[in-house]
Amino acid sequence: MATDDATSNVQHTVTPSTAEVSISSVMTEKRKFPPPADFALNAHVSSMAEYEKLYAAAEADPDAYWGGIAEKFHWFKKWDSVLEWNSPYAKWFKGGKTNICYNALDVHVNSWRKNKAAIIWEGEEGDERVLTYGELHRQVSKFANVLKIAGIKPGDRVAIYMGMVPELIIAVLACARVGAVHNVIFAGFSAHAITERVNDSRARMVICADGTRRRGGSINLKNIVDEAIVNTPSIRSVIVLKVTNEEVHMHNGMDHWWHDLMGLAADECEPAELDAEHPLFVLYTSGSTGKPKGILHTTAGYMIHAASSFKYVFDIKDEDIYFCTADVGWITGHTYMAYGPLLCGATMLMYEGAPNYPQWDRFWDIINRHKVTILYTAPTAIRAFIRAGNEWVTKHNLSSLRLLGTVGEPINPEAWMWYHKVVGQGRCPIVDTWWQTETGGIMVSPLPGATPTKPGTATRPLPGIAVDVVHKDGTPCVANEGGYLVIKKPWPSMLRTIYGDNDRYEKTYWSDFNDMYFTGDGARKDEDGYIWIMGRVDDVVNVSGHRLGTSEVESALVSHEAVAEAAVVSRPDELKGNALVAFVTLKDEYVGDMTLREALRNHVAKEIGPIAKPDEIRWAKGLPKTRSGKIMRRLLRELATSNEIKGDVTTLEDFGVLENLRDQEND
């Protein structure tokens, strides 16, 4: 029973108590949606009382809580201790030996699920493949043997660069089976981005595809890899999967076809018995300096949280068909496509292509044809669907859907209501899931059979997860006071370090608050203890659900011959969440015009990837700086958003600079 008639939206501003950062204003949202009774009846957790009981038990004895979950998995050897915490370094399930691939596949192959669909794949052109647990197990075992024959040993890093085909998940699981550390690089990234990630992780091998399909055309991935690995001394070999039949150059001795190697490999491969803390993967994410951070996750802790959070948040049942629209190149695809669903023996739908190909109803068409029951997507996609028009959605029968989810950025209440009414037809609970690449799995989310939801909040932390909103000095904020979102206790799927850089790990996450993990997000907790995320407090912006370091975009701009200096900020954007605005100072001999503007945008796309393209480029004679030379991005943000400056300018060195920026003509 929804109470959406009793709407009352009051705009107010919440600012953290130290005026050092200001976090965007939020809405007070009064609408509340209790879980539908029939949903609650059959849910894994079916009331708030049950949630509170679980939460309290986990808080009182975290070792017993996490140990209890871990016992449900297959271990070659049981652990000696649940957690050894040497702040900020965690060892979960020390002494235990397991294998996440074994738990994701062999466990099911040894059960009635052997012939159950694991992956239902749909290509952009409408082609379909179904891989049962048995078949996936066979393919993964074969490819694990390929890795072994190629000399890959436990602990070796393997880069993976391919589009959304089942072989991407096969490659990931095969790495896990032999103990190799996978480093998936999103197929939208440029050659430069691959080089940087391969070198930082000193990867030995690249697994790629010849190409990937995109909106009826294709992108040649192998050419990009060729360009990238000219400068990567650690790479010994490249395995190439045929997807698009692009013309590619196969280099003798270095490059091998996936199908040739698979043809030679046996289809049984004993899983490596790995330490609980054996590294599982490195996934790069933007930092506030130009260099991306290699987030390191390890085996057992990640495994148990990926599986249990998937089970409870998505209330997964064997009958479900779960559709996650993320790419495996991001953490969402790692945890809630490659691992979580398979560890739970679920059936997932994997779609290769764009949401608007051949037209804007592709997702809804897929949901209708495959009778999808759970949809997990991003607010940025939802906003794009709203813009495209309701008729694309309503012309399809979506009655199979029973649960909806979102991830990646705050969802604005109006988009939430649209998702609820138009997609969910008022019937489906929505789980707004807050988490990060670093947290490995969902931290804050409704449990769909228990938690009453409110549009725009990820609600309460999962059992075992100790999040809080605090002041700069670490003391808790009162209800509705804006502050910093921290995590007060270690959790199993936490990042273990930044690959090869413990100093940066300590500095980035553990130096702002005493013995608490700082998420980088601003937030407030309302009177029900619900967490409202107010965005990032540093210079990292979230564009279309992807976190981008503005300084990375700046370095890309400055690497263009015409650019002297650049500052990139974000302004709110209806469609993408945030839009990137670049203030660019040109070298004297260059003139700022439309042609150069396009050239710079394309340059950024080539250096980082199309998602980092600035939406707007403004020419600046100079940038506002402090006396110590720090660019005052806060002022630029104000300019980009409202074209005027209201904030404090006392530390500004040269006032003339601001006048120029305000008065300039933008062609």
Contact criterion met (CB below 8 Å) for 144 and 136: no
Would you say 152 or 458 has its CB closer to ligand WT7?
458
Length reported for the chain:
667
Q: Rounded CA gap, 367 and 365, in Å?
A: 5
* Whole-angstrom distance, CA of residue 89 vs CA of residue 495: 9
Least Å from the CB of residue 456 to ligand WT7: 9
Which residue number, 195 or 542, has a Cβ lying nearer to ligand WT7?
542
Give the separation between CA 325 and CA 638, rounded to whole angstroms. Answer: 34
Print the SS3 string covering 349-375.
EEECCCCCCCCCCHHHHHHHHHCCCEE
- CB closer to ligand WT7, 98 vs 519: 519
The CB-of-414 to ligand WT7 minimum distance in angstroms stands at 15
Residue 336 Cβ vs ligand WT7, minimum distance, rounded to whole Å? 9
The least CB distance from residue 385 to ligand WT7, in Å, is 18
Closest by CA to 206, choosing from 240, 244, 247, is 240
Residues near ligand WT7 (CB under 6 A): 285, 331-332, 407-410, 432-437, 458, 519-521, 533, 536, 542, 547
Q: How far is the CB of 411 from ligand WT7 (least distance, A)?
A: 7
**Can you tell me the distance from the alpha carbon of 368 to that of 258, in angstroms, rounded to the nearest whole number?**
34
Residue number with CB closer to ligand WT7 (140 or 444): 444
CB of 285 to ligand WT7, least distance (A): 5
Alpha helices in 374-463 (DSSP H): 379-388, 391-394, 413-418
The rounded radius of gyration (Å) of the Cα atoms in the chain is: 24
Closer to ligand WT7 by CB, 536 or 633: give it.
Answer: 536
What's the DSSP call for residue 622? S
- Taking each continuous run of H as one helix and of E as one strand, the counts in the chain are 22, 32
Cα–Cα distance, 533 to 166 (Å, whole number):
34
CA dist 324 and 376 (Å) reads 5
Beta-ladder partners of 349: 120, 323
Q: What is the DSSP letter of 461?
A: B
| Of residues 535 and 624, the one with the C-beta less far from ligand WT7 | 535
Minimum CB separation of residue 497 from ligand WT7 in Å reads 16
**DSSP letter (8 states) at residue 267:** S
Pick 27 or 562: Cβ nearer ligand WT7: 27
User: For residues 311 and 309, what is the distance between their CA atoms, to the nearest angstrom?
Assistant: 5
CA distance 298 to 110: 25
For ligand WT7, the closer CB: 225 or 537: 537
Nearer to ligand WT7, 83 or 184 (CB): 184
Placement of tokens 């965005």 in the chain: 535
100 vs 458, beta carbon nearer ligand WT7: 458
In angstroms, give the least distance from the CB of 495 to ligand WT7.
10
Instruction: Considering only the C-alpha atoms of the chain, give the largest distance between any 2 of them, rounded to a whole number of Å.
Output: 74
Structure tokens, 571? 């302004």
CB of 65 to ligand WT7, least distance (A): 23
Give the angle 314-317-321 at the CA atoms, nearest 5°: 75
DSSP letter at 104 equals I
Of 226 and 432, nearer to ligand WT7 (C-beta) is 432
CA 542/CA 576 separation, integer angstroms: 9
Tell me the closest approach of the beta carbon of residue 604 to ligand WT7, in angstroms: 18
Contact 406, 448 (CB under 8 A): no
79 or 518: CB nearest ligand WT7: 518
Give least dist CB 378 to ligand WT7, A.
Answer: 8
- Residue 326 Cβ vs ligand WT7, minimum distance, rounded to whole Å: 8
Q: In what order do the strands lie in the sheet with 483-487?
A: 467-470, 483-487, 517-525, 531-536
**In this structure, what token pair is assigned to residue 622?**
């100079």
Min separation Cβ 409 and ligand WT7, Å: 5
* Cα–Cα distance for residue pair 354/352, rounded to 1 Å: 7
> For residue 444, what is the DSSP state?
B
Min. distance of Cβ 355 from ligand WT7 in angstroms? 17
Q: Which residues contact 492 (CB under 8 A, 6 or more apart)?
A: 66, 92, 93, 300, 301, 302, 304, 305
Specify the residue, 521 or 552, whose C-beta has the smaller distance to ligand WT7.
Answer: 521
Q: CB of 378 within 8 A of CB of 544?
A: yes
Nearer to ligand WT7, 103 or 332 (CB): 332
